[in-house]
Structure 1
Amino acid sequence: MTAALDRIRVGSAPDSWGVWFPDDPRQVPWERFLDEVAEAGYSWIELGPYGYLPTDPARLTDEVARRGLKVSAGTVFTSLHRGPSVWEATWDHVGRVAALTRAMGAEHLVVIPSFWRDDKTAEIIEPPELTTEQWGHLARGTERLARVVKDTYGLDIVVHPHADTHIDSEEHVERFLDATDPALVNLCLDTGHYAYCGGDSVKLIRTYGERIGYLHLKQVDPDILADVLGNGVPFGPAVQRGVMCEPPAGVPDLEPVLAAAQDLGVDLFAIVEQDMYPCDPDAPLPIAARTRRFLRSCGV
């Protein structure tokens, strides 16, 4: 019998319902997402793109509570590598998301670096590699964001390594961690994105365990990934090809990842995020329900 992993709290996110944008005709309505995520057996959710779910705290509190749901985190995209000139615009957006996240009783804000490709056209808009100066901007800007978010809203930021961003591979993730203050900046380890970029999630947890503050659970299809990488396919089109797949069909194996996370001895959220944009609106619910059953078989 699989040992209970009692330090890990499982949830899901709008991403697993094909939601990438606040408003898009190809996405399921937010009411359907909330209904179905509860039906699939999850009790925790993330807010997803700001504006997808209602942004009035009283209304959103009512909507999630009557479905037996709670919010684990909000999410923001930032371009802090561009230096102090972007701070004002960054804080304008982050502040709105953080306020709603705090109002929903959550304690985490997931911070994703901006893409160096356009997320809709896949056009390359910035060099994939940062300069030394830009790495400095990224590290200091993230620390500043962490301090202000904590002081203003009481939230902990967790930075999400992501394909087609400047924090992606093992080399870049370790450089970022080594450049930032552990007292301020921790990671949201996304098992799928890290595998997509060649990283080993178990190794990262064992090496930088004190920096793991949050988990996103997903897997990649190794055959599709090999084709994607071999042909330089951008992340968006790769998702449309099905590069992120339903567990346990892909990599990494999630049982060792969850066991390593449990061994850290701290409470962690593990939020399922199976990128599926765009998708048939009837596809997410059965996948989400099967994934929840699979995770129960892993002990969570």
Structure 2
Amino acid sequence: MTISLGISAINWVNEDILSLGDHYTAEQVLSDMSQLGFAGTEFCRKFPRDAASLKALLSQYNMVMSSQWNSVHFSDPARKDDELEKYKQRVDFLAEMGCKHVVTCESGNTFEDLTQNKVSIEELSEEQWASLIDGLHQAGQYCKDKGMKLIYHYHGETVIEKPEQIDRLMSSTNPELVHLLYDTGHAYYGGYDPLELLNRYYDRIAYIHLKDIRQAQLTELIQSGLRFRTGVQNGVFTVPGDGCIDFAPIIQQLLDRGYEGWIIIEAEQDPGIADPVIYARQALTYLKAIGLTTA
């Protein structure tokens, strides 16, 4: 079995909370990752945005780029065509980088109130569901034509977060065009048992994020109505083995089923509090102890 083990740059540099890790340079992040023994990472806001420069930088550290986050608003029929054109441009960039997977997440119907630091999420209407599915199918076909896979990332504080929403997305989409990004942390965050999700949709999974949850912080977030970003700052996420998720049966299932492909370690934390190198080493020790082997 061949597993490529990577780590997300978000462990060092947060993409949404710009104050977290902003002091890191691309060179420092990649140097740390390379010395830790990781094979690749996802795009980071500190990286060059043209393929030639980014390839040259990655090669200095014997690293590759596995994918890039892509927010879309396919659920809005008025925006879908424009969103598809923008999406195709990002797919072309990833293809030039040699990536085989396109991380994709619907960001519609999420409304931010900065004055109260709150977010409201409206359930998708039937029309919006239809628009989303059509957009994903068109985007997925474009990826497939390029020899790539659209991998859908269910995510906290979005319209595809809860078990019933993930289930509907899976039952409504063509498995040849829409694959699943299996994220242990966001599964638990949204109320889906990660092992149950793995077993139910293993055949749809084409890419993996492993991260853990601190139960006390998640409970506080839910009870207090805190928003996702606040949860991140309060330490709701951590590396595998440092939270409440039991990864042993998850890793065993992946080994038994012969999973091949990327596994990306994530821990969306404040790097000033949780040193990313220390936590990455901790995760590697834990995952090796429960049987994860890589290429």
TM-score by length of 2: 0.90
Cα deviations by residue, 1:14-56 (Å, 9 ceiling, x for unpaired): 11113215976852222211111112221121114xx531122
* Identical-pair percentage: 25
Match of 1:289 in 2: 281
Unaligned runs of 5+ in 2: none
Which one of 217, 223, 228 corresponds to residue 224 of structure 1? 217
Q: Distance in 1 between matches of 2:113 and 2:211?
A: 20
Distance change in 2, residues 1:147/1:22 (3 Å): farther
Which one of 176, 180, 186 corresponds to residue 173 of structure 2? 180
Matched residue of 1:251: which SS?
A: coil
Matched residue of 1:280: which SS?
A: coil
Cα deviations by residue, 1:163-211 (Å, 9 ceiling, x for unpaired): 0001111111001100101111111011001101111121112112211
Structure of greater relative contact order (alpha carbons < 8 Å, 6+ residues apart)? 1
Matched residue of 1:111: which SS?
A: strand
Give 1:282 shift: 7.8
Match of 1:249 in 2: 242
| Amino acid aligned to 1:203 | E
Does 1:80 find its partner at 2:107? no
Matched residue of 1:20: which SS?
A: coil
Cα deviations by residue, 1:104-125 (Å, 9 ceiling, x for unpaired): 2110001022161449774436
The more displaced of 213-222 and 111-120 is 111-120
Which one of 43, 49, 54 corresponds to residue 47 of structure 1? 43
TM-score by length of 1: 0.88
Match of 2:164 in 1: 171
Q: Is the 8 A contact 1:74 1:98 kept in 2?
A: no
Matched residue of 1:80: which SS?
A: coil
Does 1:275 find its partner at 2:268? yes
> Number of paired residues?
289
Unaligned runs of 5+ in 1: 1-5
Q: Distance in 1 between matches of 2:114 and 2:60?
A: 35
Matched residue of 1:168: which SS?
A: coil
Which one of 64, 67, 79 corresponds to residue 70 of structure 1? 64
Q: Distance in 1 between matches of 2:235 and 2:220?
A: 12
Cα deviations by residue, 1:193-236 (Å, 9 ceiling, x for unpaired): 11011111211121122111111000000111111111111110
Match of 2:7 in 1: 12
Matched residue of 2:15: which SS?
A: coil
Which one of 207, 221, 238 corresponds to residue 214 of structure 1? 207
Does 1:103 find its partner at 2:99? no
Distance change in 2, residues 1:96/1:34 (3 Å): farther
The more displaced of 176-185 and 107-116 is 107-116
Match of 2:33 in 1: 37
Matched residue of 1:263: which SS?
A: helix
Q: Distance in 1 between matches of 2:189 and 2:111?
A: 16
Matched residue of 2:161: which SS?
A: coil
Cα deviations by residue, 1:100-153 (Å, 9 ceiling, x for unpaired): 2212211000102216144977443652x11122111111111111112322x3
Which one of 141, 145, 148 corresponds to residue 135 of structure 2? 141
Q: Distance in 2 between matches of 1:222 and 1:261?
A: 24
Q: Distance in 1 between matches of 2:113 and 2:279?
A: 25
Give 1:249 shift: 2.0
| Amino acid aligned to 2:190 | C
Q: Distance in 2 between matches of 1:181 and 1:30?
A: 37
Q: Distance in 2 between matches of 1:263 and 1:139?
A: 32
